[in-house]
Amino acid sequence: MKQSKHDQQLSLLINNAIKHNLKEIKAISLDNRFYGTTNLICEPDMLVFASNELYVIEYKCRDTPHNRRRAKQQLETAKDYILNEMGIYVPIHKLYCYEGSRLEEV
């Protein structure tokens, strides 16, 4: 099955920026889905657990004001869900990236 451009970029992100910039990676999870009682709450593109910290990553193919706002909202929703619904209390970093850019903290 052929990967979408989005999935190809996530793979590149893992092999380049993630593996080279984060130390002691213990787990990488792609295409996560967080559910409430009856509906989907959010879908962060990637979760990386490294050095006892959690990195929530949202990737967009293009950097536009709309995509940036949407990514920020998605990252904040994911962080709230992880803390309040899952009860995981570790430092959480929200990272945004678009094609051809570096990861940046939101």
How many Å apart are CA 45 and CA 75, to the nearest integer? 10
Q: Where are the domains of the chain?
A: 5-105
Question: What topology does CATH give the domain 5-105?
Answer: Restriction Endonuclease (3.40.91)
Indicate the range of 3-7, 21-25, 72-76 predicted with least confidence: 3-7
Q: What is the pLDDT of residues 15-37, one digit of tens each?
A: 877 888 888 999 999 989 999 98
3-state SS assignment for residue 27: strand
Q: Give the DSSP H or E segment for 80.
A: helix 65-84
Strands 53-60 and 92-98: parallel
* Res 99: pLDDT: 77
Q: What is the pLDDT of residues 35-61, one digit of tens each?
A: 998 899 999 999 999 999 999 999 988
Taking 90 as the threshold, does the pLDDT of residue 10 lie above it?
A: no
Indicate whether this model's pTM tops 0.75: yes
How many Å apart are CA 2 and CA 61, to the nearest integer? 17
